[in-house]
Amino acid sequence: MPKVISNASYFKDNSLVKNQDIAIDGAIISGINESSNQENESSLVLPGFIDLQIYGAGDRLFSADPTAESLTIIEDDLLKKGTTGFLACMATNSQEVFDECIKAAKAHRSTAKNCLGLHLEGPFLNPKRLGAHVPAFVRKASLDEIKKLIDFGDGVIKMITIAPELQDDEVIQFLLDNGVIISLGHSNATFDEATAAYNKGIQTTTHLFNAMSPIHHREPGIPTAVFNHDKAMASIIVDGQHVDFEVVKFSHKILKERLFLITDAVTACSIGPYQHLKKGNKFVMPDGTLSGSSLTMLEAVKNCVLYCGISLNDAIKMGTQYPAKLIGVENLTASIAIGQQANLLIIDDHFNLKEVIFKGETI
């Protein structure tokens, strides 16, 4: 017997459709019809969130505990919060730690639930724009090193953040040829260098405004290159700490469907090179440098609506459809439609999470 979400409201394209029964058969949405129970309170149903940059959850920082068990704990915690697809992120680190994280991801692959692979944020970054990254591990990539990395990754490396102004064209082209999403980030590229990188095929930008050349009226920098490009996308951290809400507002007005949400979330950690300390609603390194966020994707959507003047429909797409399209998993969460995988959230009018459904099963 199919599971039914009764008297639901959901966004279809740009319109809110009300009073619908959403039927789920197995892991798939099998039917959407007008509800016969319209006297009951309506629920707002959203597609599950896709977070392309998160370091840890459930009190586990993946790079500090690079095991398949750690990934399982992170997965379960994120599912409870409505993230039904994510890339586990690794910051600039030693080769040994990178190898252990990749081994763990490969070992976990056969039993993975919502972990879609890895995002390597470094080590091929610009030392002038490191933020909280450890400078001792930063270096320029060689083609031979990249070939070995992708071969060892065996398909689990889905995304890499690099500073393209310091990398050879053959490195960038090899990554693109092997289906890896390249994100421009931790970069001091000029407007012209960033524009050239996007024209070469680099698809997106890591945490817009953070750890990059800024906008200046005589030196337009990376953000202006993203704004002026017709295809380049960008992720953004909407916690009010990494980027002011007013800056998020005007960025969305310019980029529209090219801007998507990430949490860049970490957990408290007191070991290894990345020791994150919780300060209010943010994390900092021991020297006070701002590091990751404490966001959930639902909180990011809420902040977009309440503080950035972004419509709820657009904010939902920023956390679902746009990142899903970037990495090619639209069938998982791009929309609520017959035939789509039943990865769904039910929330109330105050953005409280009432239920998470993953592959048709209530979490």
**Residue range 250-308, pLDDT digits in tens:** 999 999 999 999 999 999 888 888 888 888 888 988 888 888 899 999 999 999 999 99
What is the tens place of the pLDDT at every residue in 287-300?
A: 888 888 999 999 99
pTM for this prediction:
0.96
Q: Which residues are catalytic?
A: 264
Going from the N-terminus, what domains does the chain have, and what CATH number goes with each?
3-46+336-362 (2.30.40.10), 49-330 (3.20.20.140)
Run of H or E residues at 161? strand 157-162
What is the tens place of the pLDDT at every residue in 21-35?
A: 999 999 999 999 998
pLDDT number for residue 299:
98
pLDDT number for residue 39:
67
pLDDT number for residue 78:
98
* Cβ(344)–Cβ(45) below 8 Å: yes
What value does the mean pLDDT take over residues 58-71?
Answer: 95
Cα–Cα distance measured from residue 322 to residue 256, given in angstroms and rounded to the nearest whole number = 10
68 contact partners, CB below 8 Å, separation of at least 6: 104, 107, 108, 111
- By residue count, the chain amounts to 363
Cα–Cα distance measured from residue 115 to residue 111, given in angstroms and rounded to the nearest whole number = 10
Cα–Cα distance measured from residue 357 to residue 63, given in angstroms and rounded to the nearest whole number = 28
pLDDT at 49 over 80: yes
